[in-house]
């Protein structure tokens, strides 16, 4: 049997990781500023993370949600305090796509409506409802096509208000990223997020904040949506929530009521998943990682904005997009092959920087100096 060949892969095999660095088969050391799609939040092989998972693994690794697991409640309480969502409800699943599926489904259960609003440039996953709300026709199969999904221009308050005026009583939910990741590191404006909140409140729709890539402290606030000063009804989380262990989650407002069997999962919230998730929250608290993401991000963005040949720098905290001229799209490859710095991309001209939240000042400076040299030589 062969693997199903669907991934664009770098010519690189990683065999070891420590902090913000990884090593390949030939023992070459790389600075990792991508973390496998913004997943590595507390660094590779963090000692507390390893110790917590190892201890749990030696006791019991898995049982389903057919028994009581108090650690789920402990995580919910700590997450509520760190995120400012103490009165919300917590549900654990396996991935970001699954979290968004459940959020869209919960909204429809709650208000009995079918239609959801999404936006151009958005990415919410590859499963049924999540891919239907994603702005990428290539990854949608015919079975994913539905008239219940309405796509509007991102950051267009007037278009949103007009649609609600026309058919607000039919809208079940609005799903939006606080900063679009795959779409090019495009922040939602505070005005736009506030308009979503106001329209949802007025018409009884559910505001779903997709915080899968742009949440969990990455932008220097716990959720990037927080910049608008209003709260969503449901927040979806994954990526950095467990530093590489497959975990997704929802924070659900208290007026959406649960009932037995309404949602379900076999693997979500297992012993190991909870151990990984709790370890990350402890490290967040002990190392002040949300504040550090803000501080390091401000330094990086400030210095990147001064560089010649950089068209634009977008994002906040440690979710940064560096737009280069089309003729310099090779710079990312040079950074990897020559300088051994791993970054992501959002199209050929945009370098995505999504490092661990405890990225050191020295490593951030090394990246800045290296990029400056590459651009000067271009």
Low-confidence ranges of the chain (pLDDT < 70): none
The answer to whether 33 touches 23, Cβ cutoff 8 Å, is: no
Tell me the CA distances in angstroms from 331 to 141, 307, 321, 377, 378, one per residue in order. 34, 14, 14, 10, 8
Instruction: Report how far residue 138's alpha carbon sits from residue 121's, in angstroms, rounded to the nearest whole number.
Output: 13
CA 243 to chain centre: 12
Instruction: Report how far residue 296's alpha carbon sits from residue 291's, in angstroms, rounded to the nearest whole number.
Output: 9
pLDDT of residue 347: 83
- Residue 33, number of CB atoms within 10 A of its CB: 24
Q: Which domains does the chain have, with CATH numbers?
A: 14-46+289-377 (3.90.1150.10), 48-287 (3.40.640.10)
pLDDT of residue 269: 97
Tell me the CA distances in angstroms from 136 to 46, 124, 183, 344, one per residue in order. 36, 10, 10, 19
pTM: 0.97
Summarize pLDDT for 86-95 with one digit per residue, the tens: 999 999 999 9
CA 360 to chain centre: 21
Instruction: Report how far residue 355's alpha carbon sits from residue 365's, in angstroms, rounded to the nearest whole number.
Output: 13
pLDDT of residue 348: 85
Write the Ramachandran bin of 273: left for phi over 0, alpha for psi from -120 to 50, otherwise beta: alpha
pLDDT of residue 319: 98
Q: What are phi and psi of 318, to 5 degrees?
A: -105, 40
The answer to whether 244 touches 36, Cβ cutoff 8 Å, is: yes
Tokens read off for 338: 């020559």
In sequence order, which ranges of the chain are alpha helices (DSSP H)?
35-38, 47-59, 70-83, 96-111, 128-132, 157-167, 190-203, 271-287, 289-304, 331-337, 361-377
Helix orientation angle between 271-287 and 70-83, rounded to the nearest 10 degrees:
30
């Amino acid at each position: 049997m062969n693997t199903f060949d669907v991934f664009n892969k770098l010519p690189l095999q990683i065999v070891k990781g420590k902090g913000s660095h990884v090593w390949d088969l030939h023992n070459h050391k790389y600075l990792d500023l991508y973390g496998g799609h913004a997943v590595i939040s507390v660094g590779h092989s963090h000692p507390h993370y390893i110790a917590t998972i190892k201890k749990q693994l030696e006791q019991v690794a898995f049982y389903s949600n057919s028994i009581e697991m108090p650690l789920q409640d402990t995580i919910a309480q700590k997450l509520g305090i760190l995120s400012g969502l103490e009165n919300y409800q917590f549900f654990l699943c396996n991935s970001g796509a699954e979290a968004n599926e459940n959020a869209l489904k919960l909204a429809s259960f709650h208000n009995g409506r079918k239609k959801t609003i999404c936006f151009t440039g958005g990415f919410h996953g590859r499963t049924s409802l999540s891919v239907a709300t994603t702005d990428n026709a290539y990854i949608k199969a015919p079975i994913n096509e539905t008239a219940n999904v309405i796509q509007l221009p991102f950051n267009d308050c007037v278009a949103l208000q007009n649609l609600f005026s026309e058919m607000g009583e039919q809208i079940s939910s609005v799903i939006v990223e606080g900063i679009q990741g795959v779409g090019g590191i495009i922040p939602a404006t505070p005005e736009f997020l506030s308009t979503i909140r106001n329209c949802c409140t007025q018409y009884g729709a559910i505001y779903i904040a997709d915080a899968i890539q742009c949440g969990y402290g990455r932008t220097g606030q716990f959720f990037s949506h927080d910049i608008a000063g209003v709260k969503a009804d449901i927040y979806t989380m994954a990526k950095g929530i467990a530093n590489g262990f497959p975990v997704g989650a929802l924070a659900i407002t208290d007026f959406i009521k649960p009932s037995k069997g309404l949602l379900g999962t076999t693997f979500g919230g297992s012993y190991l998943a909870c151990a990984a998730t709790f370890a990350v929250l402890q490290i967040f608290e002990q190392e002040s990682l949300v504040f550090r993401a803000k501080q390091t991000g401000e330094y990086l963005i400030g210095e990147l904005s001064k560089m010649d040949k950089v068209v634009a720098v977008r994002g906040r905290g440690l979710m940064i997009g560096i737009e280069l001229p089309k003729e310099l799209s090779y710079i990312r490859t040079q950074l990897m092959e020559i300088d051994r710095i791993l970054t992501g991309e959002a199209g050929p001209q945009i370098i995505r920087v999504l490092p661990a939240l405890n990225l050191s000042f020295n490593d951030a400076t090394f990246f800045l100096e290296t990029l400056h040299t590459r651009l000067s030589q271009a």
